[in-house]
């Protein structure tokens, strides 16, 4: 049984110099067999294990992770959470996640620092205005909060934006989702890990999957650097490396893996209390609780698994940021990094069964998976436990690439992660 | 970011080029006879290899010609460049 985190436990542990905190999760060796194995110990994978144990009472689960938990894209994203997607299927999926976010800290007894500071999307040309207004209406029909702001209202909401009509891409307005915001990404992985571990889930770190063993059309287990582990159900949540795992199982996915970059500045006093994104000029920025500006750049245009990204991508983003926020002209950037994102042709994820019995994939989140972490885990757990999708992820099956029933979210997902 | 040796222009910065994705995917010769599964395979399914990948590039800000590149996607090292229609100089590493 885990000790509950509270103000009292904090005070109590302060007296012993914070040296007697209970371990948040164990470090077990893998058993010979599990009822289900999740490949990938990021936010989505840990959430999947958590909901499998909690809602579906499948407790004999392992999460195997090549590195350390939360060390991949969970720890590399820009932590933005929103649900203002265009199509009904996406609205259902992302708003399901947003609703879980709203009570997640309490549920996990772990402060994920969810902050509903609002996300504003800017329009810079007439087509942007038409598209964003359409999306606002679509969101409201789906019960998602969204408002259209004109240029003056944008300026009022975020005064540091340059709304001069004389810049190259003037701000013609924007949309605002007030329930949207940010969360602390590491805490999400750690909170789910702690919750899953308490229900008996084995989190096995530094254990790389080397192969998927099949018996005909069924999975039998996984080969790992810690030996063979038997199981009948495998949920793959490997983000940028999904295709690598798929190739081990002998199937192909409609994915391309590309480096996506982000960067943070030196920390400064509070200057921007919301998240502002702009698809047209490719700039989005927020401020972390530490005071750093958190800036998202774009993807490289070619497949690569090097977690770096090209310099010209960063230059383009910073150019756009400087035109929109002249106040940042002398800010120094502190760190830059890349993560490998798996992009689907329709910019929507895959949460699906495959043609192989017992093999499930949760992938294709591309540039914007963090926001969906709790919902993704919940729906993927449902899919694995029942061997069929929940109605909220039924549209996000692999078969849509055969039937042609794509969920095209390039407008809502392409840049604004 | 890396240097690509265009077979027509020589070494140039990667930013001058545009990547056209996986190479040697042949357009179906009898499109009307393809099943939905075969169309999906042709249109969407990709190897997305971590390692040696064969891909098409276009020198979009230069001679605008297409050609093939063999690149290791795990470290962005280019192993060979060859023109369209030519046989790959290496099979795989």
B45 near A CB under 8 A:
yes
What percent of chain A clears pLDDT 70, i.e. is strictly above it? 99
Report the pLDDT value the prediction gives residue A411, as an integer from 0 to 100. Answer: 81
Per the CB < 8 A criterion, the answer to whether A396 and A93 are in contact is yes
**Residue listed under structure tokens 């039924």:** A394
Of the partner residues B36, B43, B45, the one whose CB lies closest to the CB of residue A403: B36
For residue A129, pLDDT beyond 60? yes
pLDDT tens digits along B18-76: 999 999 999 999 999 999 999 999 999 999 999 999 999 999 999 999 999 999 999 99
Report the pLDDT value the prediction gives residue A414, as an integer from 0 to 100. Answer: 57
Phi (first) and psi of residue B65, to 5 degrees: -95, 150
Largest CA distance in chain A: 67
For an interface test with B, which of A302, A340, A354 has the most B Cβ atoms less than 10 Å from its Cβ? A302
What domains can you pick out in chain B, each with its CATH number? Answer: 3-25+35-83 (3.30.2270.10)
B48/A401 Cβ within 8 A: no
In a 3-state reduction of DSSP, which class is residue A58?
Answer: coil
Report the pLDDT value the prediction gives residue B51, as an integer from 0 to 100. Answer: 95
Rounded to a whole number, what is the distance in Å from the CA of B50 to chain A's nearest CA?
Answer: 6
B32 near A CB under 8 A:
no
CA distance A94 to A99: 9
A310/B53 Cβ within 8 A: no
ipTM above 0.85, yes or no: yes
Of the partner residues B1, B44, B48, the one whose CB lies closest to the CB of residue A312: B1
Q: How many CB atoms lie within 10 A of CB B30?
A: 6
CA distance A61 to A71: 20
For residue A23, pLDDT beyond 70? yes
Exposure of A87 in the CB half-sphere (CA atoms within 13 A): 18
Polymer length in residues for chain A: 417
Helix (H) / strand (E) element for B55: namely strand B52-58
User: Residue A401: closest CA among chain B residues belongs to which residue?
Assistant: B40
Strands A283-287 and A275-278: antiparallel
**Residue listed under structure tokens 């708003």:** A95
DSSP A72: S
DSSP A198: H
A241/B50 Cβ within 8 A: yes
B53/A305 Cβ within 8 A: no
User: Residue A304: closest CA among chain B residues belongs to which residue?
Assistant: B73
pLDDT tens digits along A239-291: 999 999 999 999 999 999 999 999 999 999 999 999 999 988 888 999 999 99
Task: Select from A272, A264, A269, A244 the least CA-distant residue to A256.
Answer: A244
Own/partner pairs, A330-336, CB within 8 angstroms, 24+ separation: A331/A265, A331/A266, A331/A268, A331/A293, A332/A265, A332/A266, A333/A263, A333/A264, A333/A265, A333/A266, A333/A295, A334/A263, A334/A264, A334/A265, A334/A266, A334/A267, A334/A292, A335/A263, A335/A264, A336/A261, A336/A262, A336/A263, A336/A309
Polymer length in residues for chain B: 93
Average pLDDT over residues A88-95: 97
CA distance A209 to A400: 28
Rounded to a whole number, what is the distance in Å from the CA of A311 to chain B's nearest CA?
Answer: 7
Q: Residue A416's pLDDT band (boundaries 50, 70, 90)?
A: very low
Residue B44: list chain A partners with CB under 8 A.
Answer: 254, 345, 401
| Structure tokens given for A184 | 């602390």
For residue A417, pLDDT beyond 50? no
Average pLDDT over residues A113-135: 96
pLDDT tens digits along A156-180: 999 999 999 999 999 999 999 999 9
Q: How many CB atoms lie within 10 A of CB A285?
A: 25
Q: How many CB atoms lie within 10 A of CB A173?
A: 20
User: Residue A253: closest CA among chain B residues belongs to which residue?
Assistant: B45
Residue A306: list chain B partners with CB under 8 A.
Answer: 73-76
Per the CB < 8 A criterion, the answer to whether B20 and B57 are in contact is yes
Residue A301: list chain B partners with CB under 8 A.
Answer: 18-19
């Amino acid at each position: 049984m885990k000790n509950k985190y509270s103000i009292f436990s904090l005070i109590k542990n302060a007296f012993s110099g914070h040296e007697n905190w209970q371990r948040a999760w164990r470090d077990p060796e893998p058993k010979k067999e599990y009822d289900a194995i999740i490949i990938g110990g990021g936010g989505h994978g840990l959430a999947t294990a958590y909901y499998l144990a909690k809602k579906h009472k499948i407790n004999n689960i392992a999460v195997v992770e090549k590195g350390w938990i939360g060390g991949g894209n969970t720890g590399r994203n820009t932590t933005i959470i929103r649900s203002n997607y265009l199509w009904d299927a996406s609205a259902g999926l992302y708003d399901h996640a947003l609703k879980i976010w709203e009570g997640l800290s309490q549920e996990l007894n772990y402060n994920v620092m969810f902050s509903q500071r609002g996300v504003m999307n800017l329009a810079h040309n007439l087509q942007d205005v038409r598209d964003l207004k359409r999306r606002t209406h679509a969101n409201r029909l789906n019960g998602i909060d969204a408002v259209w702001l004109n240029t003056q209202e944008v300026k009022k909401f975020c005064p540091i934006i340059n709304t001069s009509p004389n810049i190259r891409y003037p701000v013609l307005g924007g949309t605002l989702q007030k329930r949207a915001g940010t969360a602390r990404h590491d805490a999400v992985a750690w909170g789910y890990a702690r919750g899953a571990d308490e229900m008996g889930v084995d989190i096995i770190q530094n254990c790389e999957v080397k192969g998927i063993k099949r018996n005909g059309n069924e999975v039998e287990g996984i080969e790992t650097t810690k030996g063979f582990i038997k199981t009948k159900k495998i949920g793959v949540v490997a983000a940028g490396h999904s295709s690598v795992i798929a190739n081990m199982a002998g199937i192909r996915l409609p994915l391309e893996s590309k480096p996506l970059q982000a960067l943070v500045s030196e920390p400064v006093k509070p200057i921007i209390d919301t998240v502002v994104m702009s698809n047209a000029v490719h700039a989005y920025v927020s401020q972390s609780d530490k005071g750093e500006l958190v800036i998202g750049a774009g993807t490289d245009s070619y497949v690569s698994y090097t977690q770096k990204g090209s310099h010209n991508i960063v230059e383009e983003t910073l150019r756009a940021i400087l035109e929109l926020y002249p106040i940042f002209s002398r800010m120094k950037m502190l760190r830059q990094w890349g993560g490998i994102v798996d992009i689907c042709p329709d910019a929507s994820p895959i949460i699906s069964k495959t043609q192989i019995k017992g093999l499930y994939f949760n992938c294709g989140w591309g540039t914007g998976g963090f926001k969906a972490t709790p919902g993704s885990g919940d729906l993927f757990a449902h899919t694995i436990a029942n061997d069929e999708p929940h109605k909220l992820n039924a549209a996000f099956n692999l078969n849509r690439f055969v039937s042609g029933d794509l969920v095209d979210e390039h407008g809502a997902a392409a840049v604004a992660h | 970011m890396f240097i690509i040796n265009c077979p027509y222009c020589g070494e140039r910065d990667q930013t001058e080029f545009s990547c056209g994705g996986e190479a040697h995917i042949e357009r179906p010769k009898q499109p009307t006879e393809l099943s939905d599964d075969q169309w999906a395979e042709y249109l969407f399914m990709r190897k997305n290899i971590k390692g040696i990948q064969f891909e098409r590039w276009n020198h979009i800000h230069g001679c605008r010609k297409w050609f093939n590149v063999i690149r290791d996607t795990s470290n962005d090292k280019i192993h060979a460049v060859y023109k369209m229609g030519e046989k790959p100089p290496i099979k795989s590493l």
